[in-house]
Every structure is written in structure tokens, then in C-alpha cells.
Amino acid sequence: MAMTSDQIRTLHRIHRQLEHLEDRRARGPRQMQAQSAGVKKLEGDHAQAKSVAQAARMAADQKQLQLKSNEGKIEDLQVKLNTANSNKEYQALKEQIAADKMANSVLEDEILESMDKIEELQVAVRQAQERLEKGKAELVKLEGSIVEQLNLIEGDIKRLSAELAQAEASLPDDFRATYDRLVKSMGADAMAEVEGEICSGCFTRIPPNKISQMMLSHEVTCLSCGRLLYLPEDRAPKLKAQ
């Protein structure tokens, strides 16, 4: 029994559709992986922002303590000043107090500055958290849509696989080995339509005698790329109804 162009065209269509569906099926997990990596990065950014803000807060607290302790020292010096025994001691204490007050004033400026900085850092933490939450929500949404699509894709693959099995069941025995071998190594690229006189797989010209053989429903492969060739619908001879 011969193999008609119509049969090969049908097989080619099913193989291409299956390949397309399998591509789409593989895309889902890749998208998930990319989105998960994105969320991981946002988690890292958030943790980093938090730890920077925390360190700034601790440094500011440290300065506050320092300020308090310095103020206590100044108060002590003030007491000593009031009970100074000599003019020399009085002068020394006064200078010491002035120097300590100056140091404290610098410290106060630094504390004010660090408060502004902490506020900025806290804004950055909130922004990082918002980005993280948005990323997580998108991941959940993506997962849902991928699962939904996957169900549809699986259904289509199942339906097309059954269609393929049916189409393959009608393959003539002497043809099956060539077909199986080509499909195994080339997938959907195992077949190509002849457009005009050109193999649509590799764009090589097909000799007229090969086209004549196809008109007679003989098995013809492209000499250049090895694809199994078939004629377009409007040029293919039809099987007579049995």
C-alpha cells in the first residue's frame, strides 16, 4: 500500500501541534523558576535593608547612651565647680566643662543626623517589603495560571496523541520503519511539504521525477535534508473512497 501526501500532511500537522504543546508545557516550570529566583532576590534585598537599618539604629542608640553618660559627667563637674577650693581648680573645671559641652553638642548633631538617616533607611525597608510582597503575590498568581494552562495543555496533548496513534495505525507496514526512524531523530522536522518544487524544510529543489513519484504516492525523502516529503493539499492525488 502506498503512502499518500494527505496522510503525511496529517501526521506532520499532529507532530507540529504536539511539539508546540510540549514547548508550552516546558515553559511553565521555566517561568516559575525565574519568578522564584526573583522572589529570592527580593527576600535578600529586604533582609539586607533591614539589617542596615538595624545597624544604624544601634549606632544611634549607642550615641544616645554616650550623650547621657557625658551629661552625667558634666553635672558632676558642675558640682565640683561649685565647691572648688582654688581659682586654678575652678578655671580647670570650667574649661573641662566647656570642652565636654562642646563634645556633647557635636554628639547631638550626629544623633539628629542619624535620626534622619534611620528614617530614610526605614522607608527603604518598607519599599523592599512592598516589592517582596508584590513578587510573592505574582508568584502565586503565576503558579495558578500555569496549573490552569497545564491542565488544558495536558488535555490537548492527550487528544492529539490519540489522534497521532490513529493516524499512525493506518501507516503501511513497508513505510513504518522509515517513518519511525525519521520521527525518532527529527521529531516534527521529519516531514516537509513541497512548495512549488522546493523542499520547505531545507529550500532545496526537488527533481521532477521525485515529484512524479509523490504524485503516485511513493515514499520520497529530500536528498538534501532527509525529510519525508508530501505535496500540498491542492496538488496531492486523493485516495479513492473505498
Instruction: Output 132 or 194, the one with its CB closest to Zn ion.
Output: 194
Site for Zn ion in 53-92 (CB under 5 A): none
Instruction: Output 164 or 199, the one with its CB closest to Zn ion.
Output: 199
Among the listed ranges 67-75, 134-142, 150-158, 225-233, the one in contact with Zn ion (CB under 5 A) is 225-233
Among the listed ranges 3-11, 137-145, 180-188, 223-231, the one in contact with Zn ion (CB under 5 A) is 223-231
Instruction: Output 81 or 182, the one with its CB closest to Zn ion.
Output: 182
Per-residue CA distances from 131 to 12, 53, 141 (Å): 46, 17, 15
Q: Cβ of residue 219: shortest distance to Zn ion, in angstroms?
A: 15
Q: Cβ of residue 29: shortest distance to Zn ion, in angstroms?
A: 34
Instruction: Output 103 or 223, the one with its CB closest to Zn ion.
Output: 223
Size of the site for Zn ion (CB under 5 A): 8
Instruction: Output 161 or 212, the one with its CB closest to Zn ion.
Output: 212
Q: Which of 222, 228, 231, 236 binds Zn ion (CB under 5 A)?
A: 222
- Show the binding pattern over residues 181-220: x = contacts Zn ion (CB under 5 A), - = does not: ------------------x-xx-x----------------
Give the footprint of Zn ion on this chain (CB under 5 A). Answer: 199, 201-202, 204, 222, 224-225, 227
